[in-house]
Structure 1
């Protein structure tokens, strides 16, 4: 759940015309593509590629051409900053990944009508930018996943799968008044219309997903993923974001639905995990983040990471 200010733009903001940046032919459910290199991408963009831009996605992305990105990984505010603030210092409960506190941020607390308008706004812009061969992956919990689902249907964005990310090392329920929340929801979708999205089926079945205790080798991947939320030390070496996701999760999105040389759009970049994943998987990326402090963390992480 990356940080974005609660700036709401109307879904019908002006669009810039553009052409897809590569050729594609459909073969069943898999699209054969001719990859493009980063210098071909950046030549047609008003914003730098392979950078995290300080500013609001809805405003800045208006300068990007239609149908110009291959994959979108979105971790929007969950609108979950309600109620009491809880905290737990590292070491009081073993096995829960370190210091934890309930998120309580201004950018994560909007009235319901404004949150729906915000969701429609950024999804409309994401749909405009996504190629017919592209995919978008959107994070959520019970706070916002239903709103995202409805907004996608309103915009005729087709949901391919709803994925349950089971977190075996989930944080405890400190109040003792409800069950411990141990999963998040991920919606995999395409822009709608003709189904031409990339799906690397053989990779999903035969790839190395040994970190997932529910994925059997050689078997079809299911819609429940068992991935720990722990972040290796290097992922937080330059600073932490309160809702930072592990890089391994974004790398899976890319492995399932993108190709080397593709362009990954990250509307809510936070401290840059999804951009790091794109770089490691051989993709170009363009990210947006409203908090300059997190942009600096993301830049430092990206400068330190190598591809592969």
Structure 2
């Protein structure tokens, strides 16, 4: 039997997080070059955006694992969190173009590993899972290791060295520019022998993107959940549209907008916390003059 599912109505999904809406600050807008920052609650702002106006979405929402955000309590009942995230995804679907891509970065914990999978299963009502990318943050090879290993003091669990990057599209048929996010051939004889036009091959679905080494939270802009600029940059390049409009509804300190700036894209970042907005504006201004 064919599986059918109902796309949630936006009016329904707005009810998912009333405590967030109740304290949502007044919307403010800032522009730095081609990048637009909107301070406010993402569900309210997404509802006001023009339908089918965004080429791709790259975002890393709160993981519901108790991180110390300034303006958001990152620990709610699991069903409440999942309902809220489905509401955000429904709002994203409305603003995404028919050939758009939604790159969702999320992770669980050793003690609570199921949450990312629970979420992506619920999102089957809204999207097709076109690609599942493993973002490898650190890796061990014989006699050596690369990247940042976050210590885990446990006799039961292994160090968690990767996160999920779900590539969601409306129907699973979006054409990508795989070589724009590719890597050079290791064996150069493959270029001519297999008739490739350039020294570039598909990166595949495991992306080793390490963090730059930091020694304290200040170097991470006092944000508990940053990701490297290269990660959203690869997503933008992979989607492969010229002059795209890139949206991050959980902008944080502006990393996705920095990636948009680097790639010549127009970025829209939504963030509820005014302190993170200030940091994002400063980072973009610094990037514009560097």
Smaller-chain TM-score range? Answer: 0.7 to 0.9
Residue 206 of structure 1 deviates from its aligned partner by 5.5
- Please name the residue that 1:161 is paired with: 131
Aligned partner of 2:102 in structure 1 is 136
Q: Is the 8 A contact 1:136 1:188 kept in 2?
A: yes
The unaligned stretches of length 5 or more in structure 1 are: 1-9, 16-45, 82-102, 210-216
Cα–Cα, structure 1 residues 133 and 239, in superposed 2: closer, same or farther, change >3 Å? same
Q: Which of 26, 35, 56 is 1:71 aligned to?
A: 56
Aligned match of 1:202 in 175, 179, 184? 179
Task: Report deviation, 1:208.
Answer: 9.8
Question: Aligned partners of 1:119, 1:113: CA distance in 2, in Å?
Answer: 10
Structure 1 residue 11 displacement after superposition:
4.6
Please list every run of at least 4 consecutive aligned residues from structure 1 whose deviation after the TM superposition is greater than 3 angstroms: 46-49, 204-209
Q: Does 1:181 align with 2:160?
A: yes
Distance 2:116 2:281 in 1: 29
2:89: which partner in 1?
123
- What's 2:41 paired with? 56
Q: Quick check: which one's helix share is greater?
A: 2
Contact 1:119/1:151 (8 A) holds in 2? no
User: Over the residues paired in the alignment, what is the CA RMSD in angstroms?
Assistant: 3.0
Q: Deviations over 1:123-157 (max 9, x none)?
A: 001111111121110011135311331122022x0
Residue 170 (structure 1) shift: 2.4
Which residue of 2 is the match for residue 94 of structure 1? none
Residues 75-154 of structure 1 aligned to structure 2 (within 5 Å) = 75-81=60-66, 103-105=67-69, 106-142=72-108, 143=113, 144-154=115-125
**Residue 292 (structure 1) aligned with residue 274 (structure 2):** yes
1:80 shift after superposition = 1.1
Instruction: Check the 8 A contact 1:158/1:189 in 2, yes or no.
Output: yes
Question: Does the 8 Å contact 1:163/1:187 carry over to 2?
Answer: yes
| CA drift at 1:178 | 1.4
TM-score, length-normalised on structure 2? 0.73
Q: CA 1:253–1:239 in structure 2 vs 1: closer, same or farther (change >3 Å)?
A: same
8 Å CA contact retained: 1:271, 1:294:
yes
The whole-number CA distance in structure 2 between the counterparts of 1:237 and 1:260 is: 33
Unaligned runs of 5+ in 2: 1-6, 13-28, 139-147, 187-198
Contact 1:281-1:307 at 8 Å conserved across structures: no
- In 1, distance between residues paired with 2:205 and 2:283? 30
Query: In structure 1, what is the equivalent of residue 210 of structure 2?
Result: 228
TM-score normalised over the length of structure 1: 0.69
